[in-house]
A = this chain, B = another copy of it.
């Protein structure tokens, strides 16, 4: 937890960005937007969470440093556009979103810890950067935010972020810790989608 900067291998950011970018491009396609707008959606969804994370940590914004991330997000939009529709059936947008959510929750927490942030705010930053991609995508698209869905969403991000902080405290090697933490959050979100798992909603009063 010493401030060794940077600790995150670039390909992790690259992978998480690609996954969210694909979900953004698919959202634009569903809304019958053009290829250029789909590309814009891919980019802002892909880089949204990581950008907010880096701004808050006063770290260099990852996709302005790394010359490959922006082209990769553009390529993702082309992939979504020119491949057969049946590759992208209804739920795949949500699965991709789940994967991006888990990965950015882990990455955000780990990067914050590596910048010397205390565990609780580091987890919160992880959760925010995990959820931000989907929030930005849905806001720009004008559709209801995915985080308001009844199936566990923020909870899955919190699981990934919490495990990342716990494993760092316990001294686990990074790659193993991150894989387990991301897998747990991703698995929980998938299970929530498939079996329609919900936490109880607020139910006091009648209003």
Contacts and interface: CB of A to CB of B under 8 A. Distances in A.
Interface of A: 28-40, 43-44, 51, 55-58, 60-61, 63-64, 67, 69-71, 73-74, 81, 84-86, 90, 112, 117-118, 120-121, 123-125, 127-128, 131, 135, 139-142, 144-145, 147-148, 150, 152-155, 158, 198-205, 207
Nearest to A34: B199
A123 to B, nearest CB: 8
Contact of A155 (B36, B131, B155, B203): B36
Q: Main SS of the interface on chain A?
A: helix
B147 A64 contact: no
Given A64-B56, A154-B37, A29 B125 contact: no
Contact of A57 (B64, B145, B147): B64
Given A30-B202, A39-B154, A142-B148, 12 more contacts: A31-B148, A34-B154, A35-B199, A43-B124, A55-B55, A56-B61, A64-B112, A64-B121, A67-B118, A69-B121, A85-B205, A140-B147
